[in-house]
């Protein structure tokens, strides 16, 4: 009896000790809001596109190095990919960070559309993504130090999420193979931690080669590469009627010739295909390739294509997700200052919507089966390691990603406040994973069950090297 009481008291004091230390770490993180806000704002100003994120990476590496993280730079053949590591041995917990901007979306931090004078903008909030993740990794490091806990915390610097599939190359290179759990987040217009959903995605540039000629003087000598593109588009558009309902196909003609009086000898069309499951997607994509081959045959041109991106759908892990959700509820949302409120009202007006501050101050209800809209290269990671995520209100409620309104809010204190909700929730989740190995164990059981016994990781973009120049 006495022994039981003694053990119980020991256990209780261990839990209280851990809780107390966690609170200290989170308080310290909170006190650093301004410093992290400044880092995020710098990356927002750099607004560097995929595989060009040199300044953003240098700043994040410097921040992590100052906290005694060891940096492995330029991993998996990508100069702007890196791994920052602290500690040693198991478990290994990883936090993902992104930092690429989107072309054509330069925008000032104001509540009306106005270019910042650049070529790109952080319309997906990846400046906040990278910074909050670095902040979480640093906080977890403090926790390991303060409590004498053993294990490794890593920050993965993941370039070119927007179409460059950076994480696919990190996964393919085996850089997640010894990781026990992966934590990540994404900026958004409310606070929530549902199991993620994403569409598997394959993208490629189809290039047609013809014969140039005077379009009026000697048209019979020419073979139009643009005809090849148009014939392919026509066939793919007819195909839409005969693909599974949830398929998404979209394209842009990236080169259609230069002048109407010259039969173009080169034309290019850039395609995305997506579906909730990658097996369906692979089939749809193969049929698109057949359409391209048929188009070339019929127009007397030749065709080749280059895979640009390819990502898996997301494999959710409910064990980890529940932990993240509980932690998010504990961290809670935030409130606007009068100035932030005024800015938010103006942004809401520009979106023809009423401002609903519930999305900022509260936490969205747990939705066990969210619908997939976009795609993410986190998908490939989630099939390699149990992966958990959340989203927070870094944008004014109602704001769609990839809009000027997202760039604008991300450049203000609203972005910083939302980012800190994410940083704290991820830090807390990471600390819990070090404290409670039984959660990791349950997460792995669920992961292996869901992934299936004969799962083999096959990257959808094949064996190509990273498309380092895809934004040039």
Query: Which chain residues interact with Zn ion by CB under 5 A?
Result: 124
Nearer CB in complex with Zn ion: 124/443: 124
Minimal CA–CA distance to 74: which of 86, 92, 61? 61
**181 phi and psi angles, rounded to 5 deg:** -160, 145
Return the structure tokens found at 395: 């944008």
Residue 123 CB, shortest distance to Zn ion, in Å, is: 9
CA distance 291 to 304: 12
Residue pair 438/51 in contact by the 8 Å Cβ criterion: no
Residue 84 CB, shortest distance to Zn ion, in Å, is: 21
Nearer CB in complex with Zn ion: 236/408: 408
**What is the CA 334 to chain-centroid distance, rounded?**
23
Residue pair 56/144 in contact by the 8 Å Cβ criterion: no
Question: Distance from first CA to last CA of the chain, Å, rounded?
Answer: 72
Nearer CB in complex with Zn ion: 101/144: 101
Nearer CB in complex with Zn ion: 124/175: 124
Residue pair 264/225 in contact by the 8 Å Cβ criterion: yes
Residue 170 CB, shortest distance to Zn ion, in Å, is: 16
CA distance 160 to 52: 8
Residue 420 CB, shortest distance to Zn ion, in Å, is: 18
Count of CB atoms within 10 A of residue 405's CB?
24
Instruction: Please state whether beta strands 120-121 and 102-103 pair in parallel, antiparallel, or not at all (unpaired).
Output: antiparallel
Nearer CB in complex with Zn ion: 128/269: 128
Max CA pair span of the chain: 104
Q: Report which DSSP code applies to 364.
A: P
CA distance 58 to 79: 11
**Dihedral angle over CA of 178, 183, 186, 192, nearest 10:** 150
Residue 366 CB, shortest distance to Zn ion, in Å, is: 22
H or E element in which residue 303 lies: strand 302-311
Residue 41 CB, shortest distance to Zn ion, in Å, is: 18
Return the structure tokens found at 141: 């490091």
Nearer CB in complex with Zn ion: 124/344: 124
Minimal CA–CA distance to 280: which of 146, 412, 460, 122? 460
Nearer CB in complex with Zn ion: 25/314: 314
Number of residue whose CB is nearest Zn ion: 124
Residue pair 444/290 in contact by the 8 Å Cβ criterion: no
Residue 98 CB, shortest distance to Zn ion, in Å, is: 7
Residue 417 CB, shortest distance to Zn ion, in Å, is: 19
According to DSSP, the residues that pair with 201 across neighbouring strands are: 274, 311
Which parts of 148-235 are beta strand (E)?
151-158, 181-188, 200-209
Nearer CB in complex with Zn ion: 318/401: 401
Nearer CB in complex with Zn ion: 91/163: 163
Nearer CB in complex with Zn ion: 158/461: 158
Residue 161 CB, shortest distance to Zn ion, in Å, is: 6
Nearer CB in complex with Zn ion: 109/124: 124
Minimal CA–CA distance to 310: which of 128, 453, 167? 167
Length of the chain: 472
Residue 126 CB, shortest distance to Zn ion, in Å, is: 6
Nearer CB in complex with Zn ion: 160/226: 160
Residue 164 CB, shortest distance to Zn ion, in Å, is: 12
Residue 111 CB, shortest distance to Zn ion, in Å, is: 22
Count of CB atoms within 10 A of residue 26's CB?
20
Minimal CA–CA distance to 166: which of 154, 151, 177, 176? 176
Return the structure tokens found at 102: 């989107």
CA distance 9 to 90: 28
């Amino acid at each position: 009896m006495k022994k039981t009481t003694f053990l119980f008291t020991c256990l209780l004091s261990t839990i209280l000790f851990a809780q107390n230390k966690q609170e200290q770490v989170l308080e310290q993180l909170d006190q650093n809001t301004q410093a992290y806000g400044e880092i995020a704002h710098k990356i927002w100003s750099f607004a560097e596109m995929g595989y060009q994120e040199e300044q953003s990476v240098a700043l994040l590496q410097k921040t992590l190095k100052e906290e005694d993280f060891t940096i492995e730079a330029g991993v998996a053949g990508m100069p702007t990919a890196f791994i920052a590591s602290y500690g040693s041995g198991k478990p290994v917990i990883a936090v993902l960070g992104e930092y690429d901007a989107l072309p054509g979306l330069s925008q000032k931090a104001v509540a009306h559309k106005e270019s910042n004078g650049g070529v790109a903008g952080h319309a997906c909030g990846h400046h906040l993504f990278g910074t909050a993740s670095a902040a979480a990794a640093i906080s977890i490091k403090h926790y390991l130090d303060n409590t004498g806990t053993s294990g490794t915390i890593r920050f993965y610097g993941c370039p070119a999420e927007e179409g460059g599939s950076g994480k696919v190359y990190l996964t393919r290179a085996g850089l997640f193979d010894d990781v026990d759990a992966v934590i990540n987040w994404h900026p958004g217009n409310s606070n929530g931690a549902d199991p993620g959903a994403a569409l598997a995605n394959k993208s490629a540039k189809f290039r047609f080669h013809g014969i140039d000629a005077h379009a009026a003087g000697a048209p019979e000598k020419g073979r139009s590469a643009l005809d090849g593109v148009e014939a392919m588009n026509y066939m793919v558009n007819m195909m839409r009627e005969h693909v599974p309902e949830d398929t998404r196909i979209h394209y842009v003609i990236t080169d259609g010739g230069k002048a109407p009086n010259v039969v173009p000898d080169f034309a290019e069309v850039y395609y995305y295909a997506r579906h909730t499951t990658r097996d369906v997607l692979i089939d749809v994509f193969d049929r698109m390739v057949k359409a391209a081959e048929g188009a070339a045959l019929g127009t007397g041109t030749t065709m080749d294509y280059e895979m640009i991106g390819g990502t898996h759908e997301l494999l959710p892990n409910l064990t980890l997700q529940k932990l993240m959700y509980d932690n998010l509820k504990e961290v809670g949302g935030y409130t606007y200052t009068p100035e932030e409120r005024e800015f938010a009202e103006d942004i809401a007006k520009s979106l023809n919507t009423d401002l609903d501050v519930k999305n900022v101050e509260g936490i969205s209800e747990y939705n066990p089966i969210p619908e997939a809209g976009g795609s993410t290269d986190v998908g490939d990671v989630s099939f390699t390691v149990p992966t958990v995520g959340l989203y927070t209100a870094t944008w004014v409620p109602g704001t769609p990603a990839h809009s000027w309104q997202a760039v604008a809010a991300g450049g203000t204190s609203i972005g910083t406040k939302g980012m800190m909700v994410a940083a704290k929730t991820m830090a807390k989740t990471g600390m819990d994973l070090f404290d409670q190995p039984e959660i990791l164990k349950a997460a792995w059981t669920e992961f292996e069950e869901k992934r299936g016994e004969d799962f083999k990781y096959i990257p959808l973009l094949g064996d190509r090297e990273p498309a380092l120049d895809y934004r040039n």
